[in-house]
Every structure is written in C-alpha cells, then in structure tokens.
Amino acid sequence: SQQGEEDPQALSIQEGENATMNCSYKTSINNLQWYRQNSGRGLVHLILIRSNEREKHSGRLRVTLDTSKKSSSLLITASRAADTASYFCATDVTGANSKLTFGKGITLSVRP
Amino acid sequence: DAGITQSPRHKVTETGTPVTLRCHQTENHRYMYWYRQDPGHGLRLIHYSYGVKDTDKGEVSDGYSVSRSKTEDFLLTLESATSSQTSVYFCAISSTGAFPEAFFGQGTRLTVV
C-alpha cells in the first residue's frame, strides 16, 4: 500500500468557498509536500512543510502538519475555477535517501 | 520551468519487447525518480536514484530496471513489456538543502499491445 493517503478522494465546491484536503502517512518523514496536477500535465509543487514545523502559508494555501497523528491538511481559501485539478501529498521518508512517495490524489472541482 | 526532458513522449510497443525511457536534466540535481500513474492508483514510485550509479527500488519495481551512469540521465527499462505496464510514466528531479521540492517532466504515455 502507498505511504500517503489523501482524503476525500473527490471534492466539489463553489467558487469562493474554502477547500480542505487531508493526507495521512505511515512512517517517519523529513518533510511533507503538496502538489497539483492539471489534466494531462506533470505535477507542480505547491508547498512544503518540514517535520519540525506545524503550519505554513503561501498565498491562498495553508498547510498543517501533525506528526503525532501522522497527518497533514491543505487548505485553499477563496477557491477559483482555476484551482480545479488533482492534488497529491508526497512524503520524504526519513532515512531513505530522499525517497519521495505520493498518495492517490484528490480531485477538486470548483464550480463557477 | 526546470530543465527536465522525457523521451519519447509517446510510444506504442508490442508485448515482450524491451523498452527504454529516458529522463534528461540540466539542473545538476542529485535525486531522480521514475513514477507511473494509473487511474485509481495515483503516482507510484518505480525506482529512484540518489547519485550516479546509486539507485533503489520503489513500490512497484518488478519488471523494471534503471541505470544512472551520469548525473543528467536516468534511464528506465522495461525488460519485456507487458500490457500491465501500459501507463503514463513521469520522471522527477530534486535537490537537497533548503529547497528539496521535486520538478516533474511532462510524462511519457506508453501503450503495450
């Protein structure tokens, strides 16, 4: 099974609403990263949070990390139709030479 | 965009034939990865490299081998292609230090018939 698991699998919201996506993982990590993928394209890095950090912000993105629960959440505020994409969390596993593993992803649809 | 190029971008091959996909980078990044993406499975790590001639297996390495003889190139070989290896393959690169995020290539769509 995969190291990271995102939840929910799919999310549909209205433009202007906030979108919250969750990620759980299994083993100790150096950092956790979130990526976005538009249909048919490669993944694009959004934000990274290190294991000793609890919260980070970047523009409309807010990510939290709870290492005791092995979980992270990504919040996109004031969503736009252009945010429609698949979102993935990725974990850099401790002691594994930067082995970067991804979850199955969340499909976000933002309705205009 | 990060200097990462995958070739070919599309390939159709027959079952049982060997196939090699190439990932080339111009960023001098230490780490390189090969993933496959399939509906319902997200991205799964096949193999990765943490330096020249240093590679390790990922989650789905059976049927695949890799080689990295120089920093800029990471080759993925399907020894004898099967229909279950029909997928979109992505290469990624990353560095160490303050900015370890990964940069992805555009992907290779491989069809095994």
Read off the pLDDT of residues B8-36 as tens digits, 9 standing for 90 and up.
999 999 999 999 999 999 999 999 999 99
pLDDT at position B100 is 81
Dump pLDDT digits (tens) for A32-85: 999 999 987 889 999 999 999 999 999 999 999 999 999 999 999 999 999 999
- Interacting residues of A71 by C-beta distance below 8 A, sequence separation 6+: A22, A23, A24, A25, A65
Q: Which of residues 50-109 of A touch B (CB under 8 A)?
A: 88, 90, 92, 96-105
What is d(CA B27, CA B30) in angstroms, rounded to the nearest whole number?
A: 9
A35: which chain B residues are within 8 Å (Cβ-Cβ)?
A: 102
A–B CB contacts, 8 A cutoff, strictly below: 68
Reported confidence tier of residue A94, pLDDT bands at 50, 70, 90: confident
User: Inter-chain contact B96–A97, Cβ cutoff 8 Å?
Assistant: no
Please provide residue B26's backbone torsions phi and psi, each rounded to the nearest 5 degrees: -115, 15
A51 CA: distance to closest CA in chain B (Å): 13
Give every residue of chain B whose pLDDT is below 50, as ranges.
none
Q: What average pLDDT does this structure show over A78-107? A: 90
Provide the pLDDT for residue A6.
86
Residue B22 and residue B19: Cα distance in Å, rounded?
10
Please work out, in degrees rounded to the nearest 5, the angle formed at the alpha carbon of residue B1 by the alpha carbons of A45 and A5. 20
d(CA B42, CA A23): 13
